[in-house]
C-alpha cells in the first residue's frame, strides 16, 4: 500500500469562499444593469463538465442567472481542454471573437480556466495575444473562483492570473448545480499517474488521488433523492481507485458498496486502464446486479511496438487475453474503446495490427482520434512523426472498419428483447422516448413520458448503425 498522498482542502477554506460568494451577491446586485448573467462554455471531458457544474453552483449562489449566449452575458467562463490541438484552437478562435463583445460591453468579465491553463506556454500566449481576458485560473484552484472574481473586480486592471502547479487536492462540499436527469456522473478520483507518452492529462490534472468512499456514498444518496437512477463513476483510471488510501479499499470494494445503495438501479464506470483491471473488478461486473455489462477499455493501438512507445504497459497479446477473459466471465458484455492513429513511428504494419485487433475484439463502438502533438510530453520529441495525409487516410480506414462492426453487432439485436432504462424524450422528436440497455445501447421507441425513470422491456424492431428502434412490450 502506498502512503497517503491525498490532501483534502480544509472545510474552513470552503466556508471562506462561501463568504466571498455572499459578498459578491451584494456587490453584483448593487449595479443591477451590469452583472446579471453568466455564460459558461465547456470543452473536454466529464472532469471539466463536473468543474463547470461547480462554477454554475457558485454563480447561482451569487444571484446570477444563465445567459443565452456570449453576447447576452456579463461574465463569461471558458473551461478549456488541452487533450488535442483542435480543442485548443477552438478556444483561441472564440477568444478572438470575444474581443469585439468586450469593446461594446466594457464591464464584461472574461475568465478562462481548465486544462489548457495548466500549461505555462498557453498562459504566456493569452497574456500576449488576448489582453481582453480578465481572469486566468487552473484546474487545482477552481474552488477559489469567488475569491479571484472579487480580487479582479476590486482591482479591475489587466489580466489576473492564478494557476497552481501542485500535485492536486480533493475538494468536497462545493456548491454545485446538476440538471435533473435520470442519470448522473460521479467523480471518484482525480488526476493520473500513468504518463502515456502522448498525453497531457497528467500535467494538467496532477497526481492521482481518490475520494473517500463515504463522500462518494453521500453524493450518490443525494442524487437518489433528486431522482437519479443510474450513475457513471468517473476517473482517468478507475482500476487504481484507492491506491492513495492507508487502508486497503479497492475499486471492486467501491462497486460492492455502491451496489447496496437503495434507489440506484444501474452503475457504470469509466475509464478502465487495461493494465490495471483486476479479476475482482471483472467478477464484480459479472456478479453485482446493478453493475452494467459494458466496459470502456481504451486500447489506443494494436501494435505491441507502438504500445510500448506509448508507455501503455501491455502488449497486443495481453490485451487480447484480457478481452477473452472478460467475454468468458461476463455474459453479453459490450466493449468500447479509444483508438489513436498516426502515433510517431506508426508504420503501415503497425496500423494493420490495430485493424487486426479490432477484428478480433469486435467493439460495440469506438472513439477514434488522430494523434496530436502535445507540448511537454515524451512523444513530442520522438522521431518519425507521421504525415497528416497518412494519418487521415488511416483514420478513414479505421472509421470504416469500426462502423462496419458496430453495424453488424446492432443488426444482431433484431427481434431481441432488451432491458431499457428510460431516460427521456428524444431531442429530435418529442413523441419518441429514448433510453439505454445495460450494454449502453441507445434505444428509441414510442411511449408515454410517465415511463421516464423506469426500467422496461423493449423489442428491437429496426436496428440502426448507432441506435436501436423498438416497441414497448
One DSSP character per residue, 200-268 reads -HHHHH-S-EE--HHHHHHHHHHHHHTT--EEEEE-TTGGGTTTT-SS---HHHHHHHHHTSTT--EEE
Give whole-number Cα distances, 284 to 243, 281, 441, in Å. Answer: 18, 5, 21
Q: Which of 14, 27, 41, 45 binds ligand F3S (CB under 6 A)?
A: 45
Q: Tell me the three state secondary structure of residue 94.
A: helix
113 annotated as belonging to a binding site for a ligand: no
Q: Which of 55, 58, 81, 339 binds ligand F3S (CB under 6 A)?
A: 81
343 vs 445, beta carbon nearer ligand SAH: 343
Q: Which does 391 bind (CB under 5 to 8 A by kind): ligand F3S, ligand SAH, ligand SF4, none?
A: none
CB of 116 to ligand F3S, least distance (A): 8
83 sits near ligand F3S (criterion: CB under 6 A) = yes
48 sits near ligand F3S (criterion: CB under 6 A) = yes
271 vs 440, beta carbon nearer ligand SAH: 271
Question: Could you tell me the three cell numbers for 315?
Answer: 502488449
Orientation angle between helical segments 145-155 and 11-30, nearest 10 degrees: 40
45 annotated as belonging to a binding site for a ligand: yes
CB of 199 to ligand SF4, least distance (A): 3
Would you give the binding string for ligand F3S spanning residues 103-122, x where CB under 6 A is met?
------------x-------
47 sits near ligand F3S (criterion: CB under 6 A) = yes
Is residue 434 a contact partner of residue 403, using CB atoms and an 8 Å limit?
A: no
Question: Could you tell me the three cell numbers for 88?
Answer: 485548443
Q: Which does 202 bind (CB under 5 to 8 A by kind): ligand F3S, ligand SAH, ligand SF4, none?
A: ligand SF4
* Residues within the interface to ligand SF4 (CB under 6 A): 192, 194-196, 199, 201-202, 236-237, 273
CA–CA separation, 216 and 213 (whole Å): 5
Backbone angles phi, psi at 268, to 5 degrees: -125, 175
Radius of gyration of the chain (CA): 23
Residues 6+ apart with CB under 8 A from 315: 304, 307, 308
Which of 279, 57, 272, 283 is closest to 175 using CA atoms?
57
- The reply to whether omega before 192 is within 30° of 0 (cis) is no
187 vs 439, beta carbon nearer ligand SF4: 187
Q: Which does 371 bind (CB under 5 to 8 A by kind): ligand SAH, ligand SF4, ligand F3S, none?
A: ligand SAH
196 annotated as belonging to a binding site for a ligand: yes
Q: Which of 21, 82, 113, 340 binds ligand SAH (CB under 6 A)?
A: 340
CB of 235 to ligand SF4, least distance (A): 9
Give whole-number Cα distances, 288 to 13, 142, 217, 238, 369, in Å. Answer: 39, 36, 17, 17, 33
Q: Which of 371, 395, 413, 445 binds ligand SAH (CB under 6 A)?
A: 371
285 sits near ligand F3S (criterion: CB under 6 A) = no
Edge-to-edge strands, sheet with 266-270: 183-187, 230-234, 266-270
Q: Which of 76, 95, 201, 309 binds ligand F3S (CB under 6 A)?
A: 201
Question: Which of these ranges, 79-87, 162-170, 180-188, 245-253, lies near ligand F3S under the rule CB under 6 A?
Answer: 79-87
Return binding residues for [4Fe-4S] cluster: 45, 81, 115, 192, 196, 199
Amino acid at each position: 500500500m502506498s502512503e497517503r498522498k491525498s490532501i483534502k482542502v480544509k472545510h474552513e477554506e470552503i466556508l471562506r469562499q462561501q463568504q466571498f460568494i455572499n459578498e459578491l451577491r451584494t456587490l453584483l446586485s448593487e449595479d443591477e444593469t451590469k452583472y446579471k448573467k453568466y455564460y459558461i462554455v465547456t470543452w473536454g471531458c466529464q472532469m471539466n463538465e463536473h468543474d463547470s457544474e461547480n462554477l454554475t453552483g457558485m454563480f447561482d449562489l451569487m444571484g446570477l442567472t444563465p445567459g443565452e449566449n456570449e453576447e447576452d452575458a456579463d461574465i463569461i467562463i471558458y473551461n478549456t481542454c488541452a487533450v488535442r490541438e483542435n480543442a485548443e484552437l477552438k478556444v483561441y478562435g472564440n477568444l478572438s471573437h470575444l474581443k469585439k463583445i468586450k469593446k461594446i460591453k466594457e464591464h464584461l468579465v472574461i475568465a478562462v480556466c481548465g486544462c489548457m491553463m495548466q500549461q505555462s506556454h498557453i498562459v504566456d500566449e493569452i497574456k500576449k495575444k488576448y489582453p481582453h481576458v480578465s481572469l486566468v485560473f487552473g484546474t487545482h484552484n477552481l474552488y477559489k473562483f469567488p475569491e479571484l472574481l472579487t480580487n479582479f473586480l476590486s482591482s479591475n486592471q489587466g489580466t489576473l492570473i492564478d494557476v497552481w502547479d501542485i500535485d492536486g487536492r480533493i475538494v468536497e462540499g462545493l456548491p454545485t448545480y446538476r440538471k435533473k436527469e435520470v442519470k448522473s456522473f460521479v467523480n471518484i478520483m482525480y488526476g493520473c499517474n500513468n504518463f502515456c507518452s502522448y498525453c497531457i492529462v497528467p500535467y494538467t490534472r496532477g497526481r492521482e488521488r481518490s475520494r473517500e468512499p463515504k463522500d462518494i456514498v453521500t453524493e450518490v444518496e443525494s442524487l437518489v433523492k433528486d431522482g437519479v437512477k443510474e450513475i457513471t463513476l468517473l476517473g482517468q483510471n478507475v482500476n487504481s481507485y484507492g491506491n492513495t488510501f492507508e487502508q486497503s479499499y479497492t475499486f471492486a470494494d467501491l462497486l460492492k458498496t455502491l451496489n447496496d445503495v437503495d434507489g440506484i438501479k444501474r452503475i457504470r464506470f469509466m475509464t478502465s486502464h487495461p493494465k490495471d483491471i483486476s479479476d475482482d473488478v471483472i467478477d464484480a461486473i459479472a456478479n453485482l446486479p446493478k453493475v452494467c455489462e459494458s466496459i470502456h477499455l481504451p486500447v489506443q493501438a494494436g501494435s505491441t511496438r507502438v504500445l510500448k512507445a506509448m508507455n501503455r504497459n501491455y502488449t497486443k497479446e495481453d490485451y487480447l487475453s484480457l478481452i477473452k477473459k472478460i467475454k468468458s466471465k461476463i455474459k453479453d458484455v459490450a466493449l468500447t474503446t479509444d483508438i489513436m492513429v498516426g502515433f510517431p513511428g506508426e508504420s503501415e504494419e503497425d496500423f494493420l495490427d490495430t485493424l487486426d485487433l479490432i477484428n478480433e475484439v469486435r467493439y460495440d463502438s469506438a472513439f477514434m482520434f488522430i494523434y496530436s502533438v502535445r507540448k511537454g510530453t515524451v512523444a513530442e520529441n520522438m522521431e518519425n512523426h507521421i504525415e497528416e495525409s497518412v494519418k487521415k487516410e488511416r483514420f478513414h480506414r479505421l472509421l470504416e472498419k469500426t462502423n462496419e462492426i458496430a453495424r453488424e453487432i446492432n443488426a444482431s439485436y433484431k427481434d431481441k428483447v432488451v432491458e431499457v432504462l428510460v431516460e427521456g424524450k428524444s431531442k429530435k422528436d418529442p413523441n419518441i422516448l429514448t433510453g439505454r440497455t445495460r450494454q449502453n445501447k441507445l434505444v428509441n421507441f414510442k411511449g408515454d413520458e410517465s415511463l421516464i425513470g423506469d426500467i422496461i422491456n423493449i423489442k428491437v424492431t429496426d436496428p440502426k448503425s448507432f441506435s436501436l428502434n423498438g416497441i414497448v412490450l
